[in-house]
Structure 1
C-alpha cells in the first residue's frame, strides 16, 4: 500500500502545483487562453462544475458536494479493492494515480467550487473544444491501469 500512497501523493502534488502555476502565476483565470504550441497544445481556462466533459454540470452547491462525496467513495472503494485483491506493482501504481487525481479535483471543488481545467490539445485538423488537467490524465490512466492490472483474479 506504500506504492499507492506515494503514487497518489506525487500525483496530487503535481496536479495542484500545475493548477497553481497556470491559474495564479500565469493568471489564466483572467487571461482565458495562452497558445503554447498552437494548434497542438494550448492553455484554455475552463471551470468544470460537473464530471468529464462537463457531464452532470450544474452550478448548485448540492451537485458540488455530491461530486466531492462521490470522489471520496470511489477513493475508498479503490483502496478497499487493492487491499482485498492485491494487484502487482502496476496495479498499485494505477490505484495511486486514480486516487491522487480524484483528490486533486476534490481540492479544486473545495477551493474554487469547480475543477480547474486548462489543457487543450488539438490535432490533425480536428478542433477539440474541451479542456482537462493533470488529475484527469491520472484518473484516466489509473482507471485503465486498474482494468489491466487490477488484481489477482483473472478471467478464464
Structure 2
C-alpha cells in the first residue's frame, strides 16, 4: 500500500457492510490509517500480514486483498479480500486470489492458505471452491450478525 491509498483504505475500513466479515465494529479515523500506512513495513515476517491493493489495468483501485494471521512456524496464513460493490462479479477477486496464492507459494513458501466464510455467503464460497479451496470445518455460531449467531465454513488451500 502507498500513502495515496489512504482515501480508499478509509472507505473500505469504514464500510459497515464489510464489518460482519472482519474483526472490527468501530470506524477508523484517517489519522489512525495514515499512521498504519506509515508504520507498515510491508514485510509479512515483521507485520504478520501483507495487504495489497487490487487495481484495474488503468489503475483504478477496486479492492484490497490480504494475508493475515501469518504463522511462520506452520507456514500458513488467512486470506481476506474485499471488492467494492460496483466491481464485484467482474473477475477482479478471482484474479487477485490467484495472484496472491501464487505469491504465497513462490515467495513466502506457505504450506496452507485458509479462509473463513459465512455459511450463507454462497457466491463467495463458490468462488473459493472453484479456485481449489476445500472445506475443512464448519464453525458453529462463529459470526455474530444482526443479533444472531451464524455458522462459518473454514476452507483451505494447500500450496503445491
For Structure 1 versus Structure 2, the TM-score category normalised by the shorter chain is: under 0.3
Larger Rg: 1
| Structure having the larger proportion of residues in helix | 1
- Larger RCO: 1 or 2 (CA < 8 Å, sep 6+): 1
TM-score normalised by length of structure 2: 0.26
